[in-house]
Homo-oligomer: A and B are copies of this chain.
Amino acid sequence: MIALDAMGGDFGPEVVVPGAAISLTRHPNLRFKMFGDQAQIEAELSKHAELAACAEIVHTDSAIAMDAKPSQAIRQGRSSSMWLAIKSVADGDSDVVISAGNTGALMAMSKLVLRPISDIERPAIAALWPTVRNECIVLDVGANIGASASQLCDFALMGAAMARALFHVDKPTVGLLNVGLEEIKGAEEVKQAHGILQGLDALPIDYQGFVEGHEIGQGRVDVVVVEGFAGNIALKTAEGTARQISQYLRDAMSRSLMSRVGAFLAQGGFRTLKAKMDPRRVNGGTFLGLNGLAVKSHGGTDALGFASAIDIGQDMVESGLVGRMRTDLHDFHERLSSKLAS
């Protein structure tokens, strides 16, 4: 059962409902609980008969504004579509919540309602990142600023559990994002995390050591671990660079008649490129490390993008991600403590 915050995002039910309809064609067994304004949701559902047959509406009078402060949302938003959708996961009525709403509010509410897994201190936001090989997972991309060595190790295990769920690899490769300059060799916490991950045998990950920024897109590892400030900046910088080069390309192709003719003939190639670079393919930031799954869709995405976020959520549910992550983190902390004690 998938809980949808139908009022989240820039477009609410107009994108959420058709998004669910797309996802249903890919996963015919899906069932949805849609939280939000009944009349608006019904109006959209009336256009999607198959979806309507497997969707249940939970009416809510209020929704969290996109610009609400998280603290305010938590105090005043307990009858909102977002809160009730998250709560349905905590209550065991749904397996995952998907929202395109206010990121800060979703993070704060998810932490409060779903609670972090007992062995970890902090959840993280994990992003799917397209690479020349396929995709990788980068975390944390902005749940927190800074991370201790032990938190970075938690992120490594959490990201690996997600990679196992989405990429179907048994022992995902993991790297710590670092700077390569000889004279500094990275932040203390990153070096300490490196020591811990290298020092423990039989972890459920294939630890590859440090990776640098340019290696993310090369797909050198399945999971890239970094604290949230640098991780968020890396993600946004990559998105900005992709947009920048698209603009260069458009400008370059329109500057002469010959280029325009060539670009017209090569339009099949350009379509392939566009599909490859389509941000909707990898839409969805996952809150990892909670006792329940929450996926954040981009607020401005369309139905196709929202469907990707649902797909990611469903893949994680099917693989039993939360249970596996709990076990992995518990084992890791047990072994780390016994190693430190000996």
Contacts and interface: CB of A to CB of B under 8 A. Distances in A.
A252 B276 CA distance: 9
B214 A243 contact: yes
A286 to B, nearest CB: 15
Given A145-B186, A240-B215, A276 B258 contact: no
Interface in A229-256: 229-230, 232-245, 247-249, 251-256
A116 interface: no
Interface string A126-146: 000011100000000010111
Interface in A42-88: 67, 69-70
Given A104-B183, A234-B213, A273 B252 contact: yes
A269 B259 contact: yes
A179 B228 contact: yes
Find the residue from A108, A217, A239, A249 having the highest chain B CB count within 10 A.
A217
Copies of this chain = 2
Nearest to A220: B240
Interface residues of A, number: 75
Contact of A183 (B70, B247, B267): B70
Contacts of A277: 245, 248
Contacts of A226: 233
Interface string A257-278: 0111111111111101100110
A341 interface: no
A331 interface: no
A310 interface: no
Nearest to A238: B241
A163 B207 CA distance: 42
A181 to B, nearest CB: 5
A240 B256 CA distance: 29
A202 interface: no
Contacts of A212: 233, 236
A39 interface: no
A268 B259 contact: yes
A132 B248 contact: yes
A201 interface: no
14 contacts: A69-B182, A104-B183, A108-B183, A142-B179, A144-B184, A179-B228, A213-B235, A217-B240, A217-B243, A226-B233, A245-B245, A252-B272, A258-B265, A265-B265
Q: What are the 7 closest A-B residue pairs judged by CB atoms, nearest first?
A: A262-B266, A213-B236, A214-B240, A262-B265, A259-B269, A104-B183, A213-B237
